[in-house]
């Protein structure tokens, strides 16, 4: 597979890199400390076209390929993974899901605003007792007259309080198990929809994570996505692409930490020489560089599979599994290379290490990726 980047890809990479350095880097430490959502920066990301990159221009998107999207995700994640998770959820879960499976009316009403960044989206699958075991949905949406009545709780929802529109997965026909699940578009402010307290987190602290409560929320029938009972398949299809975005986020976190560690090793001296001249440090850099290159190839392969309309369930899961491990390993070593300074906030690597961990948990834990991968491999 040819992974060479076109002129357009290189321009997107440069634009994302410039934006991240100019707009996200200043204040990233403070936002992490205060758990502050990067509100102004997310608005700018919308204006620059980073929130609906792959959406057809007729719905206000950038009409770009998945490779462009992962390239931009990598650059933004090098600096601020709290901003890049907003981008990932909006692009690959919410916009992609609506564009692929929404009705024309849903696209006109919701997708156009989400793709332009005028509105922000959230994807709500996880529940207190249904995380990895996603078919065990307890949230219900029963039909009544011309609408559905939604009841239940969703947990750990990214963009929980900042989103305008929420894609919510709920059980309509419990006797049909996962074949009875539906997906709905819910608007902030609807009666009975309450946003819970913000989670206090280890990493991606600028990202806005909340539980959501629904009590007898009236959902118009035209807000159901797809046929009756399509909701679980919808969630799985959306997550297959979402995992490519999170793999790119993990790659960016790893690459960001590596670049900082490499530069630091060239200026920090011990025993009369720069620390990069100690083989123990140089070999760490060699391992980091190799693993990051390998992760990038897996991420690009998954993105290209999606662009070439090949099945990307397997390549996306492999990219996420591997890149998230590389993000963990690389950030831990980047802290080590920085010594005591690695433990101090102003050097950035401790934040990257804390941010890396989530990439092994959300959009399917590493164990879940291994279930997806092993099932695909054994089916072959
Ligand atoms: N595409 C289409 N359909 C799929 C599919 C896919 N990739 N994967 C599964 N399905 C279908 C199956 O075909 C099956 O349907 P049929 O019976 O009609 O054939 C149905 O879904 C159920 O599949 P399984 O029997 O495989 O279900 P399972 O209970 O064994 O679970 C699982 C499968 C892969 C573990 C799934 O539950 C899963 O992905 N869990 C993790 C959930 C997750 O990733 N959550 C992320 C939340 S969003 C988030 O985290 C966002 C963020 O942080 C920013
Ligand atoms: P559990 O399912 O309870 O798993 C606990 C442990 O057991 C894990 O190590 C898991 O891998 C392992 N395990 C479980 N089942 C198996 C098995 N069959 N085989 C082997 N090991 C297994 N969800 C959303 O829907 N939308 C969001 O926007 C969103 N954003 C999030 C943001 C953050 C910051 C966090 C922390 C979570 C977010 N999530 C979101 C939820 C996330 O997707 C879940 O936390 C994740 O899927 C794991 O579910 P769980 O926490 O219930 O863990």
What does the pLDDT profile of the chain (380 residues) look like in tens digits? 888 999 999 999 999 999 999 999 999 999 999 999 999 999 999 999 999 999 999 999 999 999 999 999 999 999 999 999 999 999 999 999 999 999 999 999 999 999 999 999 999 999 999 999 999 999 999 999 999 999 999 999 999 999 999 999 999 999 999 999 999 999 999 999 999 999 999 999 999 999 999 999 999 999 999 999 999 999 999 999 999 999 999 999 999 999 999 999 999 999 999 999 999 999 999 999 999 999 999 999 999 999 999 999 999 999 999 999 999 999 999 999 999 999 999 999 999 999 999 999 999 999 999 999 999 999 97
Query: Among 166, 361, 372, which is best to mutate for testing ligand 2, by the most ligand atoms less than 8 A from CB?
Result: 361
Ligand 2 pocket check for 123: Cβ under 6 Å: yes
CA–centroid distance, 151 to ligand 1, in Å, is 22
Q: Show the ligand 1 pocket: residues with CB < 6 angstroms.
A: 85, 89, 123, 125-126, 132, 134-135, 158, 178, 232-233, 236-237, 239-240, 313, 362-364, 368, 371-372
CA–CA gap between residue 17 and residue 20 (Å, rounded): 5
362 CB near ligand 2 (under 6 Å): yes
- 358 in ligand 2 pocket by Cβ < 6 Å? yes
C-beta 299 within 6 A of ligand 2: no
Cβ atoms of 107 and 150 within 8 Å: the answer is no
Per-residue pLDDT, 164:
98
Residue 287's pLDDT is what? 98
Question: How far is ligand 2, taken at its centre, from the CA of residue 138, in Å?
Answer: 16
pLDDT score at 192: 98
Set 23, 99, 333, 363: catalytic member: 363
| 25 Cβ contact partners less than 8 Å away, ≥ 6 residues apart | 79, 80
pLDDT of residue 1: 83
Placement of tokens 């118009």 in the chain = 220
Q: What is the pLDDT, as a whole number, of residue 2?
A: 86
- Residue 209: CB within 6 Å of ligand 2? yes
Per-residue confidence (pLDDT) for residue 183, from 0 to 100: 98
Backbone φ and ψ for 147, nearest 5 degrees, come out as -145, 180
Q: Rounded to the nearest whole angstrom, what is the distance from the C-alpha of residue 368 to the centroid of ligand 1?
A: 9
Q: Say how many Å lie between the CA of residue 157 and the centre of ligand 2.
A: 12
User: Residue 128 Cα, ligand 2 centroid: separation in angstroms?
Assistant: 10
Q: Establish whether 23 is a catalytic residue.
A: no
Is the CB–ligand 2 distance for residue 166 below 6 Å?
Answer: no
Q: Quick one: pLDDT at residue 81?
A: 98
pLDDT at 242: 98
Give the total residue count for the chain.
380
């Amino acid at each position: 597979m040819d992974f060479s980047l076109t002129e357009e890809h290189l321009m997107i990479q440069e634009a994302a890199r410039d934006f991240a350095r100019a707009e996200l880097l200043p204040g990233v430490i403070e936002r992490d400390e205060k758990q502050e959502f990067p509100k102004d920066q997310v608005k700018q990301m919308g204006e620059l076209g980073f929130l609906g990159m792959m959406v057809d221009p007729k719905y206000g998107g950038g009409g770009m390929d998945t490779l462009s999207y992962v390239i931009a995700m990598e650059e933004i994640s090098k600096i601020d993974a709290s901003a890049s998770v907003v981008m990932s959820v909006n692009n690959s879960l919410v916009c992609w899901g609506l564009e692929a499976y929404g009705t024309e009316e849903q696209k006109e009403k919701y997708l156009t605003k989400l793709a332009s960044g005028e509105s922000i989206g959230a994807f709500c699958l996880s529940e207190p007792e249904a995380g990895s075991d996603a078919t065990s949905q307890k949230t219900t949406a029963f039909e009544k007259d011309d609408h559905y009545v939604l009841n239940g709780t969703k947990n750990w929802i990214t963009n929980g309080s900042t989103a305008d529109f929420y894609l919510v997965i709920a059980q309509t026909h419990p006797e049909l198990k996962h074949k009875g699940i539906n997906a709905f578009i819910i608007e902030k402010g609807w009666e009975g929809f309450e946003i819970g307290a913000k989670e206090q987190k280890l990493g991606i602290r600028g990202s806005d994570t909340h539980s959501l409560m629904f009590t007898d929320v009236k959902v118009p029938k035209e807000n159901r996505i797809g046929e009756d009972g399509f909701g679980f398949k919808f969630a799985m299809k959306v997550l297959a692409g979402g995992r490519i975005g999170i793999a790119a986020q993990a790659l960016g976190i790893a690459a960001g930490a590596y670049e900082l560690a490499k530069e630091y090793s060239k200026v920090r001296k011990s025993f009369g020489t720069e620390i990069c001249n100690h083989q123990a440090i140089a070999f760490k850099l060699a391992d980091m560089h190799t693993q990051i290159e390998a992760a990038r190839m897996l991420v690009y392969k998954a993105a290209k599979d999606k662009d070439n309309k090949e099945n990307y369930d397997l390549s996306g899961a492999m990219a996420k599994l591997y890149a998230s491990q590389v993000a963990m390993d690389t950030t831990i070593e980047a802290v080590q290379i920085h010594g005591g300074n690695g433990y101090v906030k102003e050097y950035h690597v401790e934040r990257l290490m804390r941010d890396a961990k989530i990439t092994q948990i959300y959009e399917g834990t590493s164990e879940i990726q291994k279930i997806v991968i092993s099932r695909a491999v054994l089916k072959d």
